[in-house]
Amino acid sequence: MILIIYTGNKFQQNISQCLSKHSFLYDTVSNFQSAESLLKAQQYSLIIVESHSNTMCLQRIRRLVEANPESWVVAVESDMPRTDTTEDTVDEANYYEAGVDDFLTGTFDERMFSARIRSHMRRSMPIQEALRSNDGSEYRIEIGPLRVDQRYHSVTINGQILALTAREFTLLNYFCRHPNQVFSRNQLLSEVWGYNHEGYEHTVNTHINRLRSKLDKVNSIENGGQLVQTVWGVGYKLNVNGYTAKALSA
């Protein structure tokens, strides 16, 4: 999962369109305050942040790096003209000294940008990449008692087949790709349903309840519906760690 911290301008649109085109999952915020709220709720493998050539921006990015040591951080030079020419200008070396993993400058090049993002994502998830092979395992996800096979649109739980609708499969598959991460209803609407409109949150609630009901009916696991946990005031997550710990202690 990628987080973009960028003001709404043409360059930000280029970044978002490129990530979507290459099937990267991402969230976008326009300021550091909003980014901090999201980063408290979930872990991002990669953070793309707009850089302005001034010390204030440099300090914010340094704090961002220090607060998120497990995330790769890429700073992208802003395409907005400077309005304050009195403040000391910082350069590329300053950003590397602040701890960023990459610094992109100049005109946006989609091919180069997507290649560098793929490189960073591979580095941020070395275990997942190492497990990939030619036997189709890249299409399978095994997390806790769940096994998802995207080729056959099938899910098993402790070896027992789980009968799901297409939307239920897509929802559970999304959770399994991001175990223990918290998603708001609007995030799920955007990523699973493909739209994001307030007032449709009940759609998510209905499908979550149906998914839990089917998980509860699986004979090979007790209270399977608890795998999908409600995080009050935020949304939902696949609670693999918590459920596994509970099952082991029972």
CATH number of residue 103's parent domain? 3.40.50.2300
Owning domain of residue 56: 2-128
Three-state secondary-structure class, residue 221: coil
Choose one of 128, 149, 176: the last residue of a domain.
128
- Shared domain check, 117 and 202: no
Which is more confident, 135 or 65?
65
Question: Is 134's pLDDT higher than 50?
Answer: no
* Phi-psi map region of 43: left, alpha, beta (phi>0 left; psi -120 to 50 alpha): beta
The average pLDDT across 127-133 equals 42
Per-residue pLDDT reduced to its tens digit, 75-91: 888 765 555 554 567 77
- Shared domain check, 144 and 118: no
CATH of the domain at 195: 1.10.10.10
- Shared domain check, 116 and 11: yes
Question: Is 233's pLDDT higher than 50?
Answer: yes
Choose one of 128, 157, 179: the last residue of a domain.
128
Q: For the full predicted model, state whether its pTM sits above 0.85.
A: no
Burial category of 238 from C-beta neighbours within 10 Å (exposed 0-12, middle 13-18, buried 19 and up): buried
- Shared domain check, 173 and 101: no
How far CA 144 is from CA of 34, 148, 159, 177, 242, in Å, comes to 32, 11, 12, 12, 10
Per-residue pLDDT reduced to its tens digit, 206-218: 889 989 999 988 8
Query: d(Cα 175, Cα 139) in Å, to the nearest integer?
Result: 15
- 249: its two tokens: 């202690």
Per the CB < 8 A criterion, the answer to whether 124 and 43 are in contact is: no
Question: Is 205's pLDDT higher than 70?
Answer: yes
* Phi-psi map region of 147: left, alpha, beta (phi>0 left; psi -120 to 50 alpha): beta
Per the CB < 8 A criterion, the answer to whether 165 and 218 are in contact is: no
Per-residue pLDDT reduced to its tens digit, 9-65: 667 788 888 888 877 777 888 888 888 878 877 778 888 888 877 788 888 888 888
The average pLDDT across 225-233 equals 90
Per the CB < 8 A criterion, the answer to whether 47 and 32 are in contact is: no
Query: d(Cα 169, Cα 66) in Å, to the nearest integer?
Result: 37
The number of domains in the chain is: 2
- Shared domain check, 169 and 81: no
- Shared domain check, 215 and 174: yes
The pLDDT assigned to 9 comes to: 67
Choose one of 110, 128, 146: the last residue of a domain.
128
